[in-house]
């Protein structure tokens, strides 16, 4: 049991409930226009949106870093306005901006954070060792933050957010600026944490990250939720995919007479947009009929990215 105590019947308690959340800034900008959102306990949830959509404002309201204009927020069953300490105790936050004390060691940062939540020193040391081991930072436990790489700092921020055993982990662009190897390490750690019962809410611009990790997804645009569904249902709505084809022999223009939209890229490359009702066998048959032999092909973008852009530009 973590520092934040669970309410008895967790089966009927959602990790996060937001009702009618609005935020109007002093300059009159309405960043949030009445957001309603529920994240179930144990979920791995993606909150996506372009810059300025209202995503960061929503995170700020959940963490009380931004004062909301109106609306209700419950975290693990606790009302954020009326039971602020209990609600915040159930939440771990990994912000987008680096905010570590650069002259403290990794271990000191975790122990100090644990102290804010009243953890006993012995328990805090054991928890810190566990997290540093799992995140590949144990050998750096006595290293001051200023000497860490960017990827190490990101992982340390995740460890700090989890030191007090929160039930809900909020991640704002957790793998921004890290290389592929570290990103995969973080992904694997988060998957294990979610399997152990931690509810994870993720915001990211790496859409393949959301597609790989998350069960459910919401898209926020211009202060409104324009999508709120399961990842599976959203991907099922994909109408087309774009493929890049590389030809064996050179071509001088885009192949004429094909029943697919596409464009010429260079003398060995063109792209095609394939409807979901069409199979790649149909594509190869049409190309073969024109004497075009394909050497290789690949997806131009991941499926979620195409869906995201479709929802944002079409408003549904």
pTM (two decimals): 0.81
User: Quick one: 116 and 65 in the same domain?
Assistant: yes
User: Quick one: 249 and 110 in the same domain?
Assistant: no
- Rounded Cα gap, residues 55 and 95, in angstroms: 12
Q: Of the residues 202, 235, 268, which one is the last residue of a structural domain?
A: 235
Q: Structural domain tally of the chain? A: 2
List alpha helices for the chain, DSSP H. 55-62, 84-89, 106-116, 121-134, 150-162, 180-195, 207-213, 231-236, 280-289, 303-314
**Interval 22-76: pLDDT, tens:** 999 999 999 999 999 999 999 999 999 888 889 989 999 999 999 999 999 999 9
**Interval 263-306: pLDDT, tens:** 888 988 988 888 877 778 888 888 888 888 998 888 776 667 77
User: Quick one: 163 and 15 in the same domain?
Assistant: yes
Domain of 23? 10-235
DSSP label at residue 166: -
CATH number at residue 307: 3.30.70.1560
Which residues, 6+ apart, have CB-to-CB distance to 126 below 8 Å?
none
**pLDDT over 70 at 260, yes or no:** yes
User: Quick one: 250 and 150 in the same domain?
Assistant: no
Question: Do residues 165 and 127 make contact, with C-beta atoms less than 8 angstroms apart?
Answer: yes
Q: Of the residues 200, 235, 270, which one is the last residue of a structural domain?
A: 235
5 in any annotated domain: no
- Rounded Cα gap, residues 230 and 217, in angstroms: 6
DSSP 53-116: SSHHHHHHHHTTSS--SEEEEEETTEETTTSHHHHHHTEEEE-SS----TTSBHHHHHHHHHHH
User: Quick one: 68 and 101 in the same domain?
Assistant: yes
């Amino acid at each position: 049991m973590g520092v934040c105590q669970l309410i008895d019947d967790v089966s009927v308690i959602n990790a996060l409930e937001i009702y009618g959340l609005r935020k109007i800034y002093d300059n009159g900008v309405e960043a949030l226009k009445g957001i309603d959102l529920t994240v179930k306990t144990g979920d791995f949830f993606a909150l996506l949106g372009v810059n300025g959509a209202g995503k960061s404002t929503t995170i700020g309201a959940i963490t009380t870093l931004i004062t909301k204009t109106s609306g209700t927020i419950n975290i693990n069953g606790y009302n954020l306005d009326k039971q602020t300490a209990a609600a915040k105790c159930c939440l771990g936050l990994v912000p987008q901006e680096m905010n570590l004390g650069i002259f403290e060691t990794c271990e000191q940062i975790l122990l100090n954070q644990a102290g804010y939540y009243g953890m006993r020193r012995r328990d805090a040391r054991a928890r810190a060792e566990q997290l540093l081991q799992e995140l590949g930072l144990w050998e750096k436990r006595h290293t001051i933050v200023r000497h860490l790489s960017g990827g190490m700092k990101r992982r340390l921020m995740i460890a700090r957010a989890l030191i007090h055993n929160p039930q809900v982990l909020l991640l704002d662009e957790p793998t921004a600026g890290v290389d592929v190897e570290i990103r995969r390490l973080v992904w694997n750690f988060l998957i294990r944490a979610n399997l152990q019962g931690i509810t994870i809410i993720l915001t990211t611009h790496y859409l393949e990250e959301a597609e790989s990790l998350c069960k459910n997804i919401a898209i926020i645009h211009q202060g409104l939720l324009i999508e709120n569904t399961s990842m599976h249902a959203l991907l099922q709505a994909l109408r087309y995919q774009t493929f890049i084809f590389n030809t064996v022999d050179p071509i001088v223009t885009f192949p004429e007479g094909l029943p697919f939209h596409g464009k010429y890229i260079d003398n060995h490359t063109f792209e095609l947009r394939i409807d979901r009702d069409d199979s790649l066998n149909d594509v190869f048959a049409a190309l073969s009929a024109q004497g075009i032999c394909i050497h290789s092909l690949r997806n131009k973008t991941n499926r979620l990215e195409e869906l995201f852009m479709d929802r944002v530009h079409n408003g549904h």
